[in-house]
Chains A and B, each alone.
Chain A
Amino acid sequence: MPKYAISRRGFLAGLGVSAALAPFVPLLQAEGAEPTGPKRLVLIFTPHGTVRDQWLPTGTEHDFALSPILSPLAPLKEKIAVIDGLRVIADTSVGAPHTKGMPLLWTASPLLEDETFFRDDGSGGYYYGWNSSHSVDQEIAAQISSEQPYRSLELGVRTSNSHPGHRMIYAGPQQPLSPEQDPYRLLTTLFANGSSASAMERLRLERASILDLVYPEVDRLKGKVGQSDQYKIEAHLTAIRDIEKSLEQPTECTPPVVTPGLTPNKMQDIPGLLNAQSQILAQALACDITRVASLQLSVSENDQNIYTWLGVDREVHHLITHENNPTAKEEMSTIYHWYSQQVAAFLTMLDSIPEGDGTVLDNTLVIWGSEIGRGRDHSFEQIPFVLAGGAGGAIPMGRFLQYPGVEHNRLLVSACQAMGLTETLAFGATDLGNGPLSGLM
């Protein structure tokens, strides 16, 4: 059993508390207190920035009022930190804004300048490729999650096909990690749902023997394919080794009860799917299946969803962001308010799982961001970031911080340091500066 696993009963009691009824839990861990559980990292993505004047809190660092868009986070106010003003250094990357914004968000590295894709980006570039480097969660996962059954988990809702504008997590150059969009498949793979112990054991033996057979066959291709394809062979071998490792350490974890009958990829099912994915992720973290995860809603190029369940049923989200009129602004605010509700629901799930003196949320660093700040002109300034949990007190919460014009690499470095990579001073190929965000930790 994993070291920090909690009892099934304790967990279920925790999850039974609905988001609306979750009690306010005061901050238990003062700065510098001993952590009482493992540190975890969760990256959350929602598309197309925000409406800043409806998003920006008012007040000072410790005495602030949440904005209309962020108001659903009010019950968790002491466990979040709103980070305003950061910019993504994007002008050095080829690719159109919505395309490069998504990979830049967590890798802070540009797209490759090759001929994989062809499209004028409006600033003189015509060709672009996949991303050139790994994302920050993978850097952290290599340090803190290598013993877990999964080094990291990528979950998504309606994340479309494999394209740079649809993928945000990278294991390395040209190695996007696609999110799993099907909650029911996750239930089966993560929680060994619905099979008898003997059937599972037999399947495990088959899988292990087959991977044993396949591995040298893949390895043999190294000598057959050219130098430029070697990374594909290496990635395939790594994937097999990772699966083999988790076959050796089967998890015992009760699956969450997820709404049945949802169709992955169906637009009208987005609210249900997002809720199911949030529940699964919360349980996977609680059971220590992984310590690093991400949750991606839709894509950055472009969010083609119609938010009918919010009454925003005139046009797709992306096209609304390119309208400059009061109706569009109201519609966008409605969408972004709903995003806050969904993030709040996920955080509440984490917060209702007790761990040590606090909750799973307290030991987790959640970073919620978007690929741009403002959709209308694809502004890479003022990206709306919200942190939560604080990684066991590493980053004090209950704050509103403003860093006008500071590059977001500083936040990624802060994340590395908060997660224990204290030597990290720079992250991403775009990094010009040094160290973490001042005054954050």
Chain B
Amino acid sequence: MGPTPLRRMTTSQYDHTVQDLFQLENSYAALLDNDESVGPYASNSITAVSRLVIEKYMTAAEQVAADADIGALDNCNLLTSNAVECATEFIESMGKRILRRPLTKSQTETYLGLYQTFNDRGHVDGLRVVVQAMLQDPNFLYFPDFHLHQGPLHGKLALLDAHALASRLSYFLWNSAPDDTLLAAAEDGSLLKEDVLQAQAVRMLADPKARRGIRRFHLQWLGADNLEMVAKDPELFPNYTPEVVAGLQQETSDFANYIIRHGDGELETLLTADFTILNPAIADFYSVPDGANLEPDTPSWLDSSRRSGILTHGSFLASQAHYQLSSLSLRGKVVREHLLCQDLPDPPPDVDLTLPNLEPGATTREQVEAHAANPSCSGCHMMIDPIGFGFEEFDAIGQYRIDDNGSPIDSTGQMINTDIDGEFHGAAQLSTKLADSQMVRWCFTQQWYQFALGRQINDHDGCSLKAGFQSLEKPANIRELILTIITSDSFRHRRIIQ
């Protein structure tokens, strides 16, 4: 399996972690420095921290500790116990949660010393400073993959210890810290047994917090996680508001959540479902008739000749498009790279993107076809544009259209260099083809592994990947894939790199 570099938690992981630990609703992500990514998935695994990064952890910790109701987390009664006993108890119980493993005796003493320095303004204020410090402790900020149960075995492979495994599991599924139940399974060592690990994973998938991992995966997979950064012409699209942007991301998140946690869990459904999960912000966007079902976690059936599956969601279509125009190349590229795992070269440096002056009323498709006829472009564009043609029924913000620039839409596309080669009409047929592809299943497996591990996967991960792929044999079940990843060698081990 591939080497695991030392990783720091991402901004969204930090956010969920402090929200869970201190029952907070605020977001703290904006107080932190931006993340790096491994492939499409945020993971702080390569670069070293700068002063700014650490300074931001410092000020974020101050904000979190100030916002948290520390007194409510302190179960001690100062009338019956003395303050140092109370503080010790707090440090041990909160420390275990924040640092995700029991504190050593010396850690507890160090934190107690800090408490005693700063309890001059009251017991709870002393505890607040303790929390503030724990949120800057490297054992909080970094994933503890260096804590090993056994190893290195077989040369360079080492088995994670139970607490390190618990962290991996909870940050994968919940994008947040382990809860007390998971910590208990780590503490008695039972989490190292495959059946206990599996049972914990099943329990955690059933918890609403599993929505977060599902959301993070799918939005990043489709390149729709930064949709708010993709500008659209406000004159052409006056109704494309920040609320709609958030609503579209919510739709994709809710839809994937419904299929994986409540529905049949099948990849085919994800790609071809004739329903979605609406929310009030996007009712107008999808021209939903009055009285349509906007309840959370309740499917709404759509006109399946127009919309079917996750690739017809506004979040994907709007993120892979321009300011004014649709982009069949960008949409086709995501299908090639993230669904088929076929990487494409960058455009040649001397490319001229001036669209040819065709007669008035020319469609985007006609302009791009004339443009990509240039031999230096056509090599790659024949890989992506004919896929993108299938999405031409959707404009720059992903709304359905019946004409482009006054001319009828031709959404006839062509798939080449795959196991599903051939012609198709529109996004619905394209999605049906993709759902039939072994290449898509293999790629989807790789994408999930990369997301779960937060690192590059390579040939050394082959055995684990193969197991994941087999769990996606038809009917390809995403829930099974997630459970297979968790019990795989790649998830439970770490390769030591020197």
Contact = CB atoms under 8 A, between A and B. Distances in A.
Interface in A167-216: 171-172, 174-178, 180, 182, 185, 188-189, 203, 206-207, 209-211, 213-214
A96 interface: yes
A171 B50 contact: yes
Contacts of B77: none
Contacts of A238: 51
Interface in B113-150: 114, 117-118, 129, 132-133, 136-139, 142, 146-147
Given A228-B5, A328-B354, A122 B47 contact: no
Contact of A213 (B53, B114, B458): B114
Interface residues of B, number: 65
Contacts of A313: 233, 323
Nearest to A218: B138
Given A210-B114, A306-B231, A242 B136 contact: no
Contact of B348 (A122, A211, A267): A122
A162 B344 contact: no
A217 interface: yes
Contacts of A325: 354
Interface residues of A, number: 77
A315 B321 CA distance: 11
A120 B139 CA distance: 37
Nearest to A189: B55
B443 to A, nearest CB: 14
Given A175-B47, A221-B138, A226-B497, A209 B34 contact: no
B62 interface: yes
A174 B47 contact: yes
Interface in A136-189: 150-151, 154, 160-163, 171-172, 174-178, 180, 182, 185, 188-189
Nearest to B8: A232
A163 B50 contact: no
Interface in B20-71: 30-31, 33-37, 39, 42, 44, 46-55, 58-59, 62
A265 B344 CA distance: 29
Contacts of B483: none
Given A206-B132, A229-B5, A243-B58, A236 B49 contact: yes
A119 interface: yes
Contacts of A172: 48
B497 A160 contact: no
Contacts of A376: 350, 352
Most buried by A among B39, B230, B346, B350: B346
Given A210-B132, A306-B323, A160 B34 contact: yes
A109 to B, nearest CB: 16
B48 A236 contact: yes
A214 B146 contact: no
Contacts of A213: 110-111, 114, 133
A235 B133 contact: no
Contacts of A225: 6, 146
Contacts of A180: 52
A122 B30 CA distance: 36
B229 interface: yes
A241 to B, nearest CB: 9
A218 B140 CA distance: 11
Interface string A291-326: 000000000000011100000011110010011110
A377 B352 CA distance: 9
B496 interface: yes
Interface in B382-407: none
Contacts of B229: 160, 265, 304
User: Of residues B52, B114, B230, which shows the largest number of chain A Cβ atoms within 10 Å of its Cβ?
Assistant: B52
B498 interface: yes
Contacts of B47: 130, 162, 174-176
Contacts of A243: 51, 54-55, 58
Contacts of B53: 178, 239
A162 B46 CA distance: 10
Nearest to B458: A115
Nearest to B322: A315
A243 B354 CA distance: 50
Given A174-B48, A229-B6, A121 B346 contact: yes
Contact of B36 (A161, A188, A206, A229): A161
B48 A234 contact: yes
Interface in B407-439: none
B146 A177 contact: no
B358 interface: no
A203 B62 contact: yes
Interface of B: 3, 5-6, 30-31, 33-37, 39, 42, 44, 46-55, 58-59, 62, 110-111, 114, 117-118, 129, 132-133, 136-139, 142, 146-147, 229-231, 233, 322-324, 343-354, 456, 458, 496-498
14 contacts: A130-B46, A130-B47, A171-B48, A175-B48, A177-B52, A178-B33, A185-B59, A188-B59, A217-B139, A226-B497, A235-B49, A313-B323, A315-B323, A328-B354
Interface of A: 96-97, 115-116, 118-122, 126, 129-130, 150-151, 154, 160-163, 171-172, 174-178, 180, 182, 185, 188-189, 203, 206-207, 209-211, 213-214, 217-218, 221, 224-229, 231-232, 234-236, 238-240, 242-243, 264-265, 267, 304-306, 313-316, 319, 322-325, 328, 376-378
Nearest 5 pairs between A and B by C-beta? Answer: A235-B48, A120-B345, A162-B36, A239-B54, A229-B6
Given A129-B46, A225-B6, 12 more contacts: A118-B39, A122-B349, A171-B50, A178-B52, A210-B129, A213-B114, A213-B133, A214-B136, A229-B6, A265-B229, A304-B231, A315-B322
